[in-house]
Amino acid sequence: MVKKMDSRFLELDCNQILKTQKQKTEPSPIRILHLPGFRVIVDKLMLGSTSSGDMPTELRLAIDNLSKETFGITEDDTEFSFPEITRVSAVYWSDEHIEHENRFQTCNVNDEIAFKVLYDLGFDFRGDYGKPLVCLNYFKRQAEAAARGIFGKVPDINEADVLMWEQKMLIDVEKRQRKNRAKKQNQRKTNRLNR
């Protein structure tokens, strides 16, 4: 009786260990804000819309370029392209269009649902305060297509980490250089005053 209970406890412990190991080995979602260029786009989107709500063409081009660099595709690449339509084939192509759009769960949903779908697929579109990024609407189709293997590519997180680390190092170097310059200027001023 005692041995049977011990074996059950051992099984429970092993199962718990396996569950925690699975949780630990599961990769964390890619923080979009940590990828190169996204913070700049978010800042531009916050400041860049016109009074009529239209997006400047430079900003649209910057979004497309960043999308191409990150996911290998633009939002237009994820849209269904209709060929020359005749009356006979119009029904067929409309069915193809509907089937194509149904592959995207983020297509006609609000930001919170799109965020949840993309988070489950491995992309974290949260900002610094936990809310969905303002750029979510401009990158959600590309991110979903890349994660599902439909089009494009998933960004390399190791490359993103290296680039983020490199950017932080450059910022630190610039700060240190400014601080050293200011120190030297202050020393020169005090040396001149002491003469």
pLDDT tens digits along 18-55: 455 445 456 678 888 888 888 888 888 888 665 566 77
pLDDT for 98 equals 63
Q: How far apart are the first and last CA of the chain?
A: 94
pLDDT of residue 135 exceeding 80: yes
pLDDT score at 155 = 82
pTM above 0.95, yes or no: no
Dump pLDDT digits (tens) for 53-111: 677 788 888 888 988 888 887 776 666 666 666 555 655 666 665 665 667 667 777 88
Domain ranges of the chain: 28-155, 156-195
The pLDDT of residue 6 is above 80: no
pLDDT in tens, 142-192: 888 888 888 778 887 665 555 666 666 777 788 888 888 888 888 887 877
Q: What is the pLDDT of residue 9?
A: 46
- Measured CA to CA in angstroms, residue 127 lies from 63, 117, 132, 189 at distances of 17, 16, 6, 44
| Largest separation between any pair of C-alpha atoms in the chain | 95
Q: Are 123 and 30 in contact (CB under 8 A)?
A: yes
Give the per-residue pLDDT at 21: 45
